[in-house]
Amino acid sequence: MKKKTRSNAAQEERLFLWVALVVALFFGAGGLFLIVSLNHREKAASIKSEKPRDLVDFSLTASSGQTVTRADLNDKILAVSFLFTSCSLTCPVVSRSMAEIQQLTTNAADVRLLSLTVDPRSDTAPVLAKWGAKFGADTNRWFMLTGDKTILHRVIGTSFLETETNNPFNSMPGNFTGTERIAVVDQHGHVIRYFDGLRMETPAAVAAEIARVRKENHL
């Protein structure tokens, strides 16, 4: 097998950038979201949090119109995803994974699902309600959250995702990376592990991780 030279790598990178540009022009914001997500795909099906992260205090609005606070999630194990509803490519895939996780944890009273929008200006509660309805979201267990942008971006940036300002293809509100991830948070609010929400095996893997966390903490 030929060893990949620096020249070959540079040509492949240029090709990727051209393809990415075409996709972005064709699909708009959804295409950009796809490019950023694929560029940051995990090498493994799941990874541990790169640094200690905990779910911070917040008060946000769910798609049902109810207020959801950090205190409402005390002693719950969480599966957390990220979205914006104008994304037509990766976000539906991740939301389908969340829908499967919801189904796999139907009888788990200690589990809640959260989906945080990165674009609260567009993703109001009624907009998120329509999105959730497409995926059969149980609004008593799966909270699609919106609210003040400053609060949302603080929660996402502090508790879950890194930001990146030097990537010309990252047009995500808040400059977040890894938005295709699904995070598992234990009942103490500690972020335990991330899963690639675009992988077919992720729902089962998240359900298994939730069961592991429950067993480890004797719940």
Spatial distance between the Cα atoms of 132 and 111, rounded to a whole number of angstroms? 18
Q: Tell me, yes or no, whether 64 lies in a domain.
A: yes
The predicted-structure confidence for 64-74, as pLDDT tens digits, reads as follows 999 999 999 99
- The answer to whether residue 158 is domain-embedded is yes
User: Contact at 8 Å (CB) between 203 and 101?
Assistant: yes
Q: What CATH number does residue 75 fall under?
A: 3.40.30.10
Please state the pTM of the whole predicted model. 0.79
- Please check whether residue 119 lies inside any domain of the structure: yes
Number of domains in the chain: 1
29 inside domain: no
The two structure tokens encoding residue 38: 């694929």
Q: Above 90 in pLDDT, residue 173?
A: no
pLDDT > 90 in the chain, percent: 66
Strand-pair partners of 68: 60
Query: Does the residue 172 lie in any domain?
Result: yes
Q: Which residue would you say has higher pLDDT here, 45 or 28?
A: 45
The predicted structure's pLDDT at residue 170? 59
Answer with the residue of higher pLDDT: 125 or 35.
125
In a domain, 77, yes or no: yes
Its domain, for residue 71, covers 46-216
